[in-house]
Amino acid sequence: MSAKKGDLCLFLPGAEGWEIWNGTAAEGFQLQLSTEHLLALEVTEKITGPVQMALPVRQLSALPFKAQTEDLSILEDLAMMHLEKNGTRPALDGGQLSDHFVYGKSGEETLLTAVVLNPPQEGQLPRRSPQAFDLSPRCLPLPEGKVVVWRELGRWVFAIGRPGGVLYFQCFSGDRLDERGGNDVRLALTQLQLQGVLAPFPDEVVVWSHGSATDARPEELESFSRGLGLSASSAPKPAPSWPAPPSRLLPADVRAERMEKKNQRNRNLMVAAAVIAYVGLVSFLFFNLKSVEEKVTIAQKKLTSLGPEALKLQIHQDKWDELAPVVDNEFYPYEVLYRIYKALPNTKTERNVRLTHVEVINQSKDVDGGRQMIREVTVKGQAPENAPIGEYNDSLIKAAELEDFKWLMQTPTKTRNGDWSFIYTAEVQN
């Protein structure tokens, strides 16, 4: 699939499957590929350019309402309250699954639409992670004040446009453009009018055609108009565009992937830097510890001759004894990190196992009336296959330098991109 430099790749739900459009907001978009795949993951053709995804209506819910305020800073909170009131509060999965769009003000009232994204299921996201997401109705030039009907991923949907966006959208309850579908639209319009968010009542319905066998036939338009109580006409579906600015919607999987990519550049550098700094750090700590030990020895020799002042020195000595385990070079974070990294299995060319997160905690706690040093380690990583992870598991357990740690090895899991991930934890008490 060819595209000019600077073009965007728009992933758009078509009539019976996903469509790929290339272009820019300034020059417009051109259709490059039309598929019959209902799952975005099934689109395997090579895609060039940054991917922008238009989320289908079937994965979204729209709830327009009037807020009794002009303060834009509190509209997000009001939108969340409105969603919760209507039983559509978004799932708490770590993503950005809700957004709101403001469409007008009247006095102290603000008209807006709250939108909720159902967490995408397996296969509903494309192979290449999109840079931005938006609503498919916002990517289409909806005429203001009219009901627009079109076919999307094998289902009929409708929407009501407003300047700069879409006031409301919904899927038909059935899979046909018939009298039942007309009743669906009429009931939705009536409810919106009773809520005071739709005025005046639309007087025209446009059914977009796609140039395929699924386009509405005259008898279907007539049946649909009968159920709706309004005249319906047919017109070609226009080319899409990309809203500016796009919505804030972001699935949890995509957010996690972005964070992983953001941190990936630093991980290899962190490991290398830790190994390089290890020698210098150990040397620094060694000489500092020797200096402290010499000072303590001198102080102890003077204790017997200092009389009452010896008590003060003893107090300082006790405090040092409490802190000494924290700076024990055997368990210093960089030392432990180096030993964990050293235990990685080797191949002829590269290390198959890569570490993504290592955390070393040394903390003094009160245990059974006394102070005890608790040392905890968490190791996370990935590998293209499961076998190297097993080798690393055995290597950690058998490592003489880590024999004080009691390891808890969780079963590796396969990630979305086909790699295997693992989490190991360990604890030692002194």
Which domains occur in the chain, in start order?
Answer: 55-250 (3.30.420.40), 255-429 (no CATH)
Q: Is residue 257 a contact partner of residue 356, using CB atoms and an 8 Å limit?
A: no
Handedness of CA 414, 271, 131, 91 (dihedral sign): positive
pLDDT at position 349 is 43
Structure tokens at 294: 């010499």
pLDDT at position 379 is 92
pLDDT at position 428 is 81
- The tens digit of pLDDT for each residue in 163-176 reads 878 999 999 999 99
Q: Is residue 77 a contact partner of residue 208, using CB atoms and an 8 Å limit?
A: no
Strands 232-236, 205-209: pairing is: parallel
Best CA proximity match to 358, nearest among 329, 383, 333: 333
pLDDT at position 280 is 66
pLDDT at position 310 is 53
CA gap 157, 185 in Å, rounded: 9
CA gap 200, 355 in Å, rounded: 61
Best CA proximity match to 44, nearest among 13, 6, 18: 18
pLDDT at position 374 is 78
Q: Is residue 206 a contact partner of residue 148, using CB atoms and an 8 Å limit?
A: yes
CA gap 90, 100 in Å, rounded: 13
CA gap 426, 430 in Å, rounded: 14
Q: Is residue 251 a contact partner of residue 119, using CB atoms and an 8 Å limit?
A: yes
The single residue listed with the structure tokens 């009131």 is: 85
Contacts of 382 (CB under 8 A, 6+ apart): 353, 354, 356, 415, 419, 420, 421, 422
Number of Cβ within 10 Å of residue 214's Cβ equals 14
pTM more than 0.75: no
Q: Which residues of the chain have pLDDT under 70?
A: 1-3, 262, 265-266, 268-287, 289, 296, 299-300, 302-330, 347-351, 365-367, 369-371, 429-430
The single residue listed with the structure tokens 């409810």 is: 191
pLDDT at position 283 is 60
- The tens digit of pLDDT for each residue in 100-145 reads 999 888 888 999 999 999 999 999 999 999 999 999 999 999 998 8
- The three-state secondary structure class of 301 is helix
Best CA proximity match to 379, nearest among 231, 230, 271, 284: 271
Which residues face 208 on adjacent strands? Answer: 235
